[in-house]
Amino acid sequence: MTQTKIILPLLAATVVLAGCMPAPAPATYQQPVPAPAPVQSVPTVANGITGLQEREPDLCGAKTYSSALNQPGSVIPTLGVTQEYRVVEYRGIEPQEYDPNRIVFRLDAGGNITNVDCG
């Protein structure tokens, strides 16, 4: 009888509290949200900041030496280059400082000039 006195009120309390709970929300299907359109960012030119150099096409005059393309790298000293230049061998290590007035000759695996640009 003692068990009935304890279990019956607990059972009644559980039923009363269960009646107070809200009904579960029905499952609804939501359409997937489309991805936002990509933002086109336009790089801005920093005006008035010292130490920055704007990269301009052919500032070093690399176009002058375009006749050396597909020739062996050994012709570079005979081209009469009067300004600073760098030769970057195939898979060679290239320092990362940028000098817009320096000519860069890039060589392929066979040692031929594949590109002439500034840097």
Q: Which two tokens stand for residue 44?
A: 């801005």
Does a structural domain hold residue 112?
A: yes
For residue 1, is it within any domain? no
Q: What is the pLDDT of residue 89?
A: 93
Q: Is 50 a domain residue?
A: no
Q: What is the residue whose two structure tokens read 């760098």?
A: 86
Asked, for residue 25, whether it belongs to a domain, the answer is no
Pull the structure tokens for residue 56: 């301009």
Phi and psi at 10, nearest 5°, equal -65, -40
Q: Which two tokens stand for residue 67?
A: 């006749």
pLDDT at 3: 67
Q: Which residues of the chain have pLDDT under 50?
A: none
Q: For residue 72, what are its two tokens?
A: 């062996």
Number of domains in the chain: 1
Per the CB < 8 A criterion, the answer to whether 99 and 84 are in contact is yes
Residue with tokens 């009646």: 19
| pTM for the full predicted model | 0.53
